[in-house]
Amino acid sequence: MGTSSQSPLWGARIGGMTEVRTSVRIRQAVTSLPSYVPGARPGHGDVAKLSSNELPFPPQEAVVAAMTRVAAEANRYPEMTGEGLVSALAHRWGVEASQVVVGNGSVALIQHLLDTVCDQGDEVVMPWRSFEAYPICVAVAGAHAVTVPLTSQGRHDVPAMLAALTPRTRVVMACTPNNPTGAALSAEELTALVEGVPRDVVVLVDEAYLDFVTDPSVGDALDLLPHHPNLVVSRTFSKAHALAGLRVGYLIAEPGLASAVRSVATPFGVSLPAQAAAVAALGEEVRAETARRARLVVAERERVVAALRGQGWEVPTTQGNFFWLGVGDQAAALAGHFAQAGVLVRPFAGEGVRVSIGTPEENDRVLEAAAAWSAR
Ligand SMILES: *Cc1c(COP(=O)(O)O)cnc(C)c1O
C-alpha cells in the first residue's frame, strides 16, 4: 500500500461504456473496442420486444422438462466438452463427433475460433453491415477487421470480399442470412466464396438463421464441408430453437481445426441445463414442432414484408426472422416512433432499423405503426 499515489489511473471508455478507472494497464485493443448494443429490453407494460431476433414462443415443454430434471444435479460439473450434446449434433448432421465443438453461445465460439488462428495484426475480412459482435471478437483477438460493404440490396459482395484478401488474412467471415439485412448467400455465391479462399485461410459461415430460409437457391455451407478443410460452420440454439437465454451454440469443422478450437474454448463452457435442453431440442418430436414454429414465423415474415411494401416501404428480401428498413439518418427517429407504439426495434444510427418477426398481434402493431409513420 502507500504506492497508489504513484500509479497512474488508466481511464478507458471500454466498449463505449462509461469511463472505467483502474490502476491496471488495460490492453489497448480492449480500450478501443466498439460497443455491442443489446436489443432493448421492455420495462413494464405491454411492449413487443422485436429488438433481438428471438423466437416469440417459449421453449417447448419437453425442453423445459429436460433442464428442470438436471437442475437438482447442479452441484456436479457438466460434461467438460459436452460429449452427449456433441454426439447428438454429429448424429443430427451426419458428421463425426470430432468435427463438432459446442460453446457458451455461438458468439463465444466465434471468439474462440479467432483466438485460435489470429496473431496480432492479422486480418479478418467481413461483410459490413453485419452482426455487430464480429468486429468486437476480431479486436479482442488482436486482429484487424477488414470490412467489405454490402451491395445496395444488403447482400454480401463476394467478388469484393475475395479481392480484399491479403497475405495477412487469416479468416473470411460470412453471415447467411445476414443480420441485419436478411439477405442470404446463394449456393453459387457460397461456393465462389469458399473456393476463392486459400486453404490456409479459414472461411467462417455463420448460419444462425438457417432454419428460417425458404428460398431453395440459398446455399448451406455444411454441403461444402467435406471438400474444404478450412471451412467452419457456426450455428446456434438461440434463434429457431428458442433457447437464447440458455447460451448454447456450436461449430462444425474438420477434426484438426475443431480440436484446436476446443483447446481454446472454456472448459465446461456449456452449463448442465443448457446441455440437457439442447439435447432435448434435437429430439425428433421437438424438432418437428420447432420446424412448425419456424414456418409460422416465416409465414408472418412474408405477410409483414408484403404489407410493408404495399405501404410503399422498401424492404430488402429477407430469409431470416427479421427485416430491414434502410431509412438512413431517420433510423433513431423511426425507432422512437415504434417505441411510442409499444414496439422495441433495433436501430443502427444513420443506417436503418431491424425489426424481428413476433406474434401475429405484435406484427400487426408493427404494420400499424409503419403506416402511421408514412402518413405523418
Ligand atoms: C443471434 C445471432 C447469433 C447467435 O449468437 P449466440 O451467441 O449463439 O446467441 C449468431 N450469429 C448471428 C449473426 C446472430 O444474429
Is 212 a domain residue? Answer: yes
> Does any domain span residue 297?
yes
The secondary structure of the chain in percent helix, strand, coil, rounded to multiples of 5, reads 40, 15, 45
Contact, 68 vs 98, CB < 8 A? no
182: in domain: yes
Task: Please name the residue ranges forming H helices in 83-242.
Answer: 83-93, 106-117, 133-140, 158-163, 187-195
Distance CA 324, CA 130 (A): 12
- Residues 257-263: contacts with CB under 8 Å, at least 24 apart: 257/116, 257/202, 257/229, 257/230, 257/232, 258/98, 258/99, 258/100, 258/101, 259/98, 260/116, 260/117, 261/101, 261/109, 261/112, 261/113, 261/116, 262/81, 262/101, 263/116
Domain containing 153: what range? 63-282
**Where does residue 103 rank: exposed (0-12), middle (13-18), buried (19+ CB within 10 A)?**
buried
Do both 186 and 317 map to the same domain? no
pLDDT at position 28: 85
Q: Check: CB of residue 136 under 8 Å from CB of residue 15.
A: yes
Indicate which residue's Cα is closest to atom 15 of ligand 1: 179
What is the pLDDT at residue 13?
52
Tell me whether residue 151 is in a domain. yes
Mutate to test the pocket of ligand 1, among 179, 211, 233 (most ligand atoms within 8 A of CB): 179
Specify whether 276 is located in the same domain as 290.
Answer: no
- Taking only Cα atoms into account, the Rg of the chain, rounded to an integer number of angstroms, comes to 21
**C-alpha grid cell, residue 210:** 438457417
Q: Which residues contact 288 (CB under 8 A, 6 or more apart)?
A: none
Residues 307 and 170 in one domain: no
Q: Which of 282, 297, 314 is the last residue of a domain?
A: 282
pLDDT at 19 (0 to 100): 64
Are 331 and 234 in a shared domain? no
User: Domain with 320 in it: what CATH number?
Assistant: 3.90.1150.10
C-alpha 129: how far from its chain's center?
13
How many other C-beta atoms can be found within 10 angstroms of the C-beta atom of residue 332?
14
Contact call for residues 179 and 127 (beta carbons, < 8 A): no
73/204 same-domain check = yes
In a domain? residue 164 = yes
How many angstroms separate the CA atoms of 363 and 368, rounded? 9
| Domain boundary residue, one of 232, 265, 282 | 282
CA dist 180 and 327 (Å) reads: 13
Quote the ligand 1 centre to 25 CA distance (angstroms): 31
Residues 204, 303: one domain? Answer: no
The pLDDT profile of the chain, 376 residues, written as one tens digit per residue, is 444 445 555 555 555 555 667 888 888 888 888 877 777 777 767 899 999 999 999 999 999 999 999 999 999 999 989 999 999 999 999 999 999 999 999 999 999 999 999 999 999 999 999 999 999 999 999 999 999 999 999 999 999 999 999 999 999 999 999 999 999 999 999 999 999 999 999 999 999 999 999 999 999 999 999 999 999 999 999 999 999 999 999 999 999 999 999 999 999 999 999 999 999 999 999 999 999 999 999 999 999 999 999 999 999 999 999 999 999 999 999 999 999 999 999 999 999 999 999 999 999 999 999 999 998 8
Rounded Cα distance between 151 and 340, Å, is 32
Same domain, 233 and 326: no
Same structural domain for residues 301 and 275?
no
Beta carbons of 106 and 207 less than 8 angstroms apart:
no
Encoded amino acid at 105, one letter: G
C-alpha cell at 310: 404495399
DSSP 194-236: HHTS-TTSEEEEE-TTGGG---TTB--GGGGGGG-TTEEEEEE
Residue-level pLDDT at 40: 74
Q: According to the model, what pLDDT value does residue 30 have?
A: 87
CB of 238 within 6 A of ligand 1: the answer is yes
Residue in the structure block whose three cell numbers are 402493431: 365
Domain's final residue, options 282, 310, 327: 282
User: What are φ and ψ of residue 374, in 5° steps?
Assistant: -65, -30
Could you tell which of 130, 136, 206, 213 is best to mutate to test the pocket of ligand 1, judged by most ligand atoms within 8 Å of the CB? 206
Q: In what order do the strands lie in the sheet containing 322-325?
A: 322-325, 352-356, 346-348
Q: Please list, in sequence order, all residues whose beta carbon lies within 8 angstroms of the beta carbon of residue 101, skipping any fewer than 6 positions away.
A: 81, 86, 109, 112, 250, 251, 253, 258, 261, 262, 265
Residue 269, domain member (yes or no):
yes
Do 32 and 91 fall into the same domain?
no
CB neighbours of residue 48 within 10 Å = 24
Measured in angstroms, how far is the CA atom of residue 176 from the centroid of ligand 1?
11
- Is the CB of 106 within 6 Å of ligand 1? yes
Task: Establish if 99 belongs to a structural domain.
Answer: yes
The pTM (predicted TM-score) of the whole model is: 0.94
For residue 53 and ligand 1, the question of a CB distance below 6 A is answered with: yes
Instruction: State the CATH number of the domain containing residue 246.
Output: 3.40.640.10
Q: What pLDDT, on the 0 to 100 scale, is given for residue 177?
A: 98
Both 111 and 238 in one domain: the answer is: yes
Count structural domains, the chain.
Answer: 3
Judge if 180 and 128 occupy the same domain: yes
Cβ-in-10-Å burial (0-12, 13-18, 19+) of 166 comes to exposed
Residue 95 in domain: yes
Quote the CA–CA distance of 122 and 269 in Å, as a whole number.
27
Our answer on whether the CB atom of 363 is closer than 6 Å to any ligand 1 atom is no
Q: Is 54 in the pocket of ligand 1 (CB under 6 A)?
A: no
Is the domain of 255 the same as that of 370? no
